[in-house]
Structure 1
Amino acid sequence: MSLDRPTFSVIIPLDDHRGQWRQSWLGWKSQTVDTSLYEIILVVPPDAMLRSDIEQLVGDEARLEYSESHHDIELSAFGAAKARGNHLFFTESHCRPEPDVLELCLRAIEDHPDWSGFSCRSIPICHNALSEAEAAMYQSDIEFGMKQHPWLKVLDQCFVTRRDIYEECGGLRTDLGHFAEWVLAASYYARGHVIGYLDEARVHHYYVGRLDELEKFTLDFVRGEIRYLSEARRDPGSELLDIPIEWSERDKLDSEIARNALSALVRYSLAGWGWKRPGEMLRAFRRWAAPALLNDLRARIAARIDVVQARTMLTVLITVGSSAAARRWMKRYVASLIRLQRLDYIRSICAGHATRLFGDNVLAQIGFHCRESSAGHTFRWSEPQAAVRVAGVSARNIVRIQSPALRGPLDRIGVYFYLDGTPVDPAAIVVGHDSFMLRLDLPLSGIAVLAWACPAFNGVGDARRLGLPIAAIDVERAENE
């Protein structure tokens, strides 16, 4: 097959073919446009039997590109790098196109010069009750993305794009799994490129209807999502991606830092505060006991129970229930599965990537409310007990805590500081009008947990447990000490 510069390069990764690759191949081979307008690139994984079957059937009627990867996103990116067409057509080997797909795409390119890319319509192929529930769930998401969502319009089942725009936007990131589609879609939108939707061009998508495959797909997506968030990148479009609550609240599941907050409470209480306010001490103890002792175990156990319950109900309803009920429980099952996978993956891989609310020297924190503004200051209220993991040098450091005096003079509040559970010497603390300055000796690692405790402050009409308003925390090496 000899082509100089075809209009289309149809890229078919052959790993996840679900036994459908022959139908897919024959569908692309039978397009109504002239064969000179497109090339078919079959990207073949390292499977000796599959390679032999493909070579025997295809011959020289398509380009075979051999990869050592087993992931369809990686295979797709590999095929795109080998493509010669002006437009790339990404699809999957379990998708069968209708004969006029490329003809309709060619017309759309002429009719919509403002489109940098577009997705075609996905028609589900179902063969059992579970695949019907799976298809209904995904089709609802696809319809929303294609017709309502402002930018989530890259559908790798049938996505056409100008090759130069694809490369400008960074292409498919092979380390992100299927989350790469979302990142690419956000990049297009952020750079001002329009992705259209071509409803009349139809590709039929085979839903396998197996829960193990569904779990594998969601885990792949979650891993890419968390990996991307852990990079804290500022690429065009990164600000468009939603931050899941499991990621934004991951510091709350940090047992070490929670234990320091609990230790601060206990030490502060034993010093006399607890005996004066036993009710408040008990409430505070209940607040910190679970995160300090259980870490994220409680959340993960609850998530796992939800998964088991939802999977059990779904399995029963697939056999004896209505299709509507099966669809509802399919959505619930996938949502609970994604939550559990996020919690597990954050714990095992990304626990060190904390939300750095106060700059690069504060690696993690616990016991803080959302950011707010008042009296010309922007800050976060801490709880009466809070803790931060700070990074400095393995020597004397100056830690400056900017704290607007919104609840009165700082030297009258009664704040006690603790470094890795040990009380900070009052002589090492300088209290200013709107700041605390602490001279601290950090361990050899240069990393330690600084916690504090103070009386609770009750704001007018505010039911929160408030401690100190914190605007910034800076750490620097103490010179000449």
Structure 2
Amino acid sequence: MQDVPAPYGGESPLFSIIIPLEHHRGQWELSWLGWTSQTADKSLYEIILVVPPDFKALNELKALAGGKARLEFTNSNHDIGLCAFGAAKARGKYLFFTESHCRPEPDVMEACIRAIGARPDWAGFSCQSVPICHNRLSVAEAAMYQADIEFGMKQHPWRKVLDQCFVTRRDVYWECGGLREELGHFAEWVLAAAYHARGHTIGYLEEARFHHYYIGEIGELKTFTLDFVRGEIRYLSEARNDPGSELLDIPIEWSSRGDFNVALARSAFGARMRAGRVTGEGLQAIGRWGAIALAGDRFALGLARLSAGYARCSLTLLTMSGSRDSIVRCLKRYIAALIHYQRLYCIRGIRGSLGGAAQNLGDQMVAQAGFHAWEVWQGRSFRWSEPEAAVRIEAPPGRAIIRIASPEIRGPLDRIGVQFYLDGVRVADAATAIDAGAFVLQLDLPPSGGAILAWACPRFAAIDDPRRLGLPVAGIDVSAGEDVSCTSPPIAAMRG
């Protein structure tokens, strides 16, 4: 929780309207006129124009704004950073965030004042966004984003912060951490999740209407998605446990980021080859892990880049002569392909500094490959591995006992048919036992203390689940020991 900055001089108004002048799209004058045309009493609100260092029309701005607004200057070049700076300078009980390419209708302030009186349970609310389109791509862009906005405002349980037109109590904004510039536009989702996790309600005020200008340029779309993805990956890399962090979806590119570890991929590849099950499924696995073992993430990154490039070319052609529906469909495909590529690209950029990629499986697990995201079964959290998986262990050298907790989702553990390998050498059945829902392996770790444990098992065919599922893993623990302490005999004895 951040401390609420003291009011920035003078008597505090009810609202502080914060308008960042970055990305104004040539619309800032219309936006300004919309605010000066409000029917509400002007004494109820202050207007803060936050000016980035490269704003080109400063003289015109000063002449137009005159004494009707406060100009705040900052070195930030991002509209989220400008909003955050403006919030720190604001005096109002309510902060009103908007964008300089958004024009409010004249009764917006009156509608907001009525909402505050009628809905004291709302800690904040977003207003209605009405698209302004001027070319074929902007029409498709608006259709795509308006559908997402509509879903967030009316159906999603918490994703209701819309920086085009968001009003919030100033104290709650700071309690929930405020907007973080380094997260780009992903900061809106982080803030919305924090409000929800702390029990604050964000409403949707449809009668307060803003006209939002869609630029309709592919390059701008690419820049915006990269900004969002960079913030998303940065936030995930911080591994924070702030209220609301558990609400944010984990993209598959992040949950599977360890798959591109070449050493682990080679171990998973070797485990599948040594397991002796070269069926159609096995050939698919060999191709998957073999490609990573040879090229790391280069093949996947190159393929994702080609896919995004092809989608962009298709979109460019369609904007010349395609129907509206075909442009919308192609735009969605392009954005999905672009986000996939950008996530892989951003993860590659920080992979070397991540470290501890598998800490959530156990303190001694420092890297992993071949795992799906966390899920819950009968109240217990676990991760499905693929039919081939590998983890890097760091523990004291010598005799060790490794417990792999595995919920019996696919039946008794001794019937799964899993084979374990330590640094490429098959772990003998006699050194593997089952105890209290866990595989218990008695192994000798090398003098370095670091080793790769891999396994292979038949694929588990779950109903309506296309994923390649192998072993459910709730956690992995490594301890020193001489003997396997369990009540069950070794797997070899049970199979016999």
Per the TM superposition, whether the score is higher than 0.5 is yes
Distance 2:377 2:57 in 1: 65
Range with greater deviation from structure 2 (109-118 or 48-57): 48-57
* Distance in structure 2 (CA, Å) of the matches to 1:323 and 1:467: 44
Structure 2 vs 1, CA of residues 459 and 103 (structure 1 numbering), >3 Å: closer, same or farther?
A: closer
Residue 58 (str. 1) matches residue 65 (str. 2):
yes
Equivalents in 2 of 1:36, 1:6: separation in Å? Answer: 7
Q: Are 1:436 and 2:441 counterparts?
A: yes
Question: What does 1:75-224 correspond to in 2, within 5 Å?
Answer: 75-224=82-231
1:366 is matched by which residue type in structure 2?
A: A
Q: Quote the residue 1:305 is aligned against.
A: 306
CA 382–308 in structure 1, closer or farther in 2 if over 3 Å, else same? closer
C-alpha distance in 2, partners of 1:459/1:424? 22
Question: Which sections of structure 1, spanning at least 5 residues, go unmatched?
Answer: none
Q: Give 2:13's aligned amino acid.
A: P
* 2:453 alignment partner in structure 1: 450
Q: Does residue 417 of structure 1 match 2:445? A: no
Which residue identity is paired with 1:257? L
- 2:159 and 2:192 in contact (8 A); partners too: yes
Q: State the alpha-carbon separation in 2 of the partners of residues 373 and 152 from structure 1.
A: 23
What is the rounded CA distance, in whole Å, between the counterparts of 2:120 and 2:384 in structure 1?
52
> TM-score if structure 2 supplies the norm length?
0.82
Residue 33 of structure 1 is matched in structure 2 by: 40
One-letter amino acid matched to 1:387: A
Q: 1:229 aligns with which of 232, 236, 251?
A: 236
2:269 pairs, out of 262, 265, 284, with 262
Q: Is the 8 A contact 1:457 1:465 kept in 2?
A: no
Instruction: Give 1:316's aligned residue.
Output: 317
Query: Structure 2 counterpart of 1:43, which letter?
Result: V
Q: Secondary structure at the match of 1:212?
A: helix
The letter of the residue matching 1:167 is W
8 Å CA contact retained: 2:49, 2:70:
yes
Distance 1:465 1:322 in 2: 38
Deviation at 1:458, TM superposition (A): 8.0
SS at match of 1:347: helix
Deviations 1:398-432 (A, max 9, x none): 3523367945499xx8956333x5x4898xx9545
Segment drifting more, 87-96 vs 401-410: 401-410
Q: 1:260 to 1:169 in 2, by over 3 A?
A: same
Is the Cα contact below 8 Å between 1:401 and 1:470 reproduced in 2?
no
Aligned mates of 2:169, 2:445 — CA distance in 1: 57
**1:275-325 deviations in whole A, cap 9, x for unaligned?**
xx6669767644532232243334333322332222222212211121221
Are the counterparts in 2 of residues 95 and 206 from structure 1 also a CA contact under 8 Å? yes
Aligned partners of 1:3 and 1:36 also within 8 Å: no
Residue in structure 1 matching 2:392, options 385, 389, 393: 389
Give the partner amino acid of 2:367: A
Residue 402 of structure 1 corresponds to which residue in structure 2?
404
Q: Deviations over 1:195-238 (max 9, x none)?
A: 11111111111111111111000001011111112222222222
Q: Secondary structure at the match of 1:349?
A: helix
Further displaced range: 155-164 or 41-50: 41-50
- Partner of 2:230: helix, strand, or coil? helix
CA contact (8 A) 1:223 1:345 kept: yes
Q: 1:78 to 1:397 in 2, by over 3 A?
A: farther
Measured in 2, the distance between the counterparts of 1:75 and 1:467 equals 48
SS of residue paired to 2:95: strand
Residues 468, 48 of structure 1: CA spacing in aligned structure 2 closer, same or farther, 3 A cutoff? closer
SS of aligned partner of 1:80: helix
The CA distance in 2 between the partners of 1:464 and 1:179, in whole Å, is 28
Shift of 1:264: 4.5
Decide whether aligned partners of structure 1 residues 230 and 458 sit closer, same or farther in structure 2, where only a CA change above 3 A counts.
closer
Are the structure 2 counterparts of residues 101 and 48 from structure 1 closer, same or farther at C-alpha, using a change threshold of 3 Å?
A: closer
Residue range with higher mean Cα deviation, 304-313 or 128-137:
304-313
Report how far residue 53 of structure 1 moved. Answer: 3.5
CA distance in 1, matches of 2:269, 2:126: 53
Alignment partners' CA distance in 2, 1:450 and 1:284: 18
Tell me, in whole angstroms, the C-alpha distance in 2 between the residues paired with 1:469 and 1:215: 38
Counterpart Cα distance in 2 of 1:67 and 1:112 = 35
**In 2, distance between residues paired with 1:12 and 1:50?**
15
TM-score, length-scaled by structure 1: 0.84
Contact 1:397 1:442 in 2 (8 A): no
Equivalent of 1:474 in 441, 466, 477: 477
Quick one: structure 1 residues 10 and 449, their matched pair in 2 at CA, closer, same or farther if it must change by over 3 Å?
same
1:291 has 2:292 as partner: yes
* One-letter identity of the residue aligned with 2:368: Q
Contact 1:371/1:380 (CA < 8 Å) preserved in 2? yes
**CA displacement at 1:162 relative to structure 2:** 0.7
| Cα displacement (A) at 1:377 | 9.7
**In 2, distance between residues paired with 1:150 and 1:373?**
20
* AA in 2 matched with 1:398: A
Shift of 1:23: 1.6
**Structure 1 partner of 2:329:** 328
Q: Residue 417 and residue 68 in structure 1: after superposition, are their counterparts in 2 closer, same or farther (change >3 A)?
A: same
Contact 1:92 1:157 in 2 (8 A): yes
Conserved 8 A contact 1:372-1:378:
yes
Displacement of 1:154 after TM fit?
Answer: 0.7
Taking a change above 3 Å as real, the CA distance of residues 258 and 194 of structure 1, as seen in their structure-2 partners, is: same
Cα–Cα, structure 1 residues 124 and 313, in superposed 2: closer, same or farther, change >3 Å?
same
Distance 1:367 1:207, change over 3 A: closer
Kindly report which structure 2 residues correspond to 1:265-280, keeping only aligned pairs within 5 A, or say none: 269=274
- Taking every aligned residue pair, what percent have the same amino acid on both sides? 57
In structure 2, what is the Cα distance between the partners aligned to 1:156 and 1:376?
37
Matched, 1:24 2:25: no
Cα distance in 2 for partners of 1:185, 1:471 equals: 30
**Residue identity in the other structure for 1:402:** I
1:14 aligns with 2:18: no
| 2:341 matched residue in structure 1 | 340
Return the match for 1:47 from 38, 54, 61: 54
Q: How many residues align?
A: 462
Partner of 1:366: 369
Q: CA deviation at 1:51?
A: 3.4
Q: Secondary structure at the match of 2:340?
A: helix
